[in-house]
Amino acid sequence: MNSVETTLDTLVTDFEDSLPALLVAAGINDFTEYVKGPSRQHNQQSLCFYIDEGSPDIEEDSISIIIQAQLYGIDYDDSLKYLDVVKDFIFDYDPENIGYIIRRSFTYEHLPIEQKKTTFIFFNIEYTETLDSCDQ
């Protein structure tokens, strides 16, 4: 298990290294920024990474991550392309890259605010590893 900061740093780097080619292949632009925490620019395409603070499980070590796609000035159809590309990347992402064994849950919510204005997509992913008797 990695520290929270290391986990977020690794996720940001992995996404920033791999997503641009996948987005271009889907016919859409790369995100302007990949950041830990909130976007620094409200009028850009940003992919933001947060820790979702949940209750710890005594039997497992787990971490819940929220990834927020902020899509400014993107029409509805293109926002669905972003949803598909990021969703597929998360689904294929190896949890061992961040020190976990399995992806326990994965949900997303697509929130178009206005047509051809800002759309937010929230991905919530929980990674976990079972603790053995030495860890408890």
Check residue 24 and report its DSSP letter. Answer: H
Is 4-130 CATH 3.30.2000?
Answer: yes
- Which whole number is the average pLDDT over 4-28? 95
- Which whole number is the average pLDDT over 7-33? 96
76, 115 contact by CB (below 8 A): yes
Mean pLDDT score of the chain: 89
Per-residue model confidence (pLDDT) at position 3: 81
Taking only the tens place, the pLDDT of each residue in 83-112 is 999 999 999 999 999 988 889 899 999 999
The Cβ of residue 56 has, within 10 Å, a number of other Cβ atoms equal to 10
Q: How far is the C-alpha of 125 from the C-alpha of 51, rounded, in Å?
A: 10
18, pLDDT greater than 80: yes
- Which whole number is the average pLDDT over 119-135? 81
